[in-house]
Structure 1
Amino acid sequence: MGKITDKLNKKDINFIKEQKMFFVATAPKEGKINISPKGLDKTFKVINENTVLWLNYFGSGNETAAHLLEDDRMTMMFCAFEGKPNILRLYCKAKAIQEKDKKWEKYISYFPNTNGARQIFKIKILNVNNSCGMGVPLYEFVDQREDLKKLYKKKTKKEQIEYMKRKNQISFDGKPTKLFED
């Protein structure tokens, strides 16, 4: 049986810091539900027991931003793939902060590696659910993939923006992300 609370505790925060990967789920009012695995070191920042930030880099889609315009619910999941079993789910409300937004500079300052940044999600935690995780397989962590970091280093800021304008303004379901709109 899982344990549900209304905020992160010290144990939860330490567990999050130890994880190399997490999952993000969002859904529009109609259309595909999106679940994405996320990695890349230092992209998740706990601000306090009810607020976290997630730095999102550009890629092939931008489903999370599109979905949050219709429904601001987000679920994040962290699984222990090594060590003591645990699954930690965060049930949240989230908002995309983009470079055009007034608070961008404040939030981007929390992250050391910002090359390739597309948006930051400011996430308010409503509930925290810890469950056993005994069914999650054990894996040995080798390393974070360097592919995206290498891609971002090859592209100038102008080239990154051009890519995002081509690939990240509409979701797979044809929903707007408002990445470059006011």
Structure 2
Amino acid sequence: MAKFSDSILPQHSDFIDKQKMFFVASAPLSAEGHVNLSPKGIDSFRVLSANKVAYMDIIGSGNETSAHVMENGRLTLMFCAYEGPPNILRLYGRGYTVLPGDAEWEELSALFELQLATRQIIVGEIDKVQTSCGFSVPLYEYMGERDHAQKWAAAKGPEGLETYKKEKNRVSLDGLPTALFDRLA
């Protein structure tokens, strides 16, 4: 049932464009480290080419993906069909973090409607694509985006967000530095 490709084909890109949510998985090298799996929403994902993608990352309670891709690069992204024909699509590859001020920031950030809480952009260089049946993924009706992140960020304000990132986003759950580590010293 599973099919593999070495690149993102047009039908894969079309499927990705229709999804309202995706998941990001990463892990440290340490066997004692925590595997991270994060759901992502809003209009935050872009297919840049047949082997490159990016997503706008919003400030959260942790910054595991940035720490993990800095340590070992491994990144998996997953999209599931919650309406229409069943399908699961996984993108496997290596990732890196792009921060404001980095060489790629201006080009990549122009692809998104940046939020007050935009923290960074995660780029994935994809070397394997897998589709599978998704027969057991339930059907859901999309009702809209939540506005909690925007309200939270507005209440914190720019200075409060910087303080929050210093407190919560400089290192991972396992103590690994993130791309923000040196910038928020």
Q: TM-score with structure 1 length normalisation?
A: 0.94
Matches within 5 A, 1:20-169: 20-30=20-30, 31-40=33-42, 42-169=43-170
The residue type paired with residue 9 of structure 2 is: N
Runs of at least 4 residues of structure 1 off by over 3 A? none
- Match of 2:161, SS state, is helix
2:178 maps to 1:177? yes
Distance in 2 (CA, whole Å) between partners of 1:103 and 1:9 is 24
Q: Distance in 2 between matches of 1:156 and 1:106?
A: 25
TM-aligned CA deviation for residue 68 of structure 1? 1.0
2:95 and 2:24 mapped to 1: Cα distance?
Answer: 11
Name the amino acid aligned to 1:60.
S
Please give the alpha-carbon distance, in whole angstroms, between the structure 1 residues aligned to 2:141 and 2:23.
18
Separation in 2, partners of 1:180, 1:104: 18
CA RMSD of aligned residues (A): 1.3
Amino acid at match of 1:81: Y
Counterpart CA distance in 1 for 2:55 and 2:111 is 10
User: 1: CA distance between counterparts of 2:163 and 2:36?
Assistant: 24
SS in 2 for 1:155: helix
Aligned mates of 2:25, 2:179 — CA distance in 1: 19
Report % sequence identity: 44
Q: CA deviation at 1:180?
A: 4.2
| Contact residue 171 and residue 181 of structure 2 kept, 8 A | no
Give 1:102 deviation, angstroms.
2.5
Once the 2 structures are TM-superposed, how far is the Cα of residue 82 of structure 1 from its aligned partner?
A: 0.9
State TM-score, norm by structure 2.
0.93
SS of the counterpart of 2:107? helix
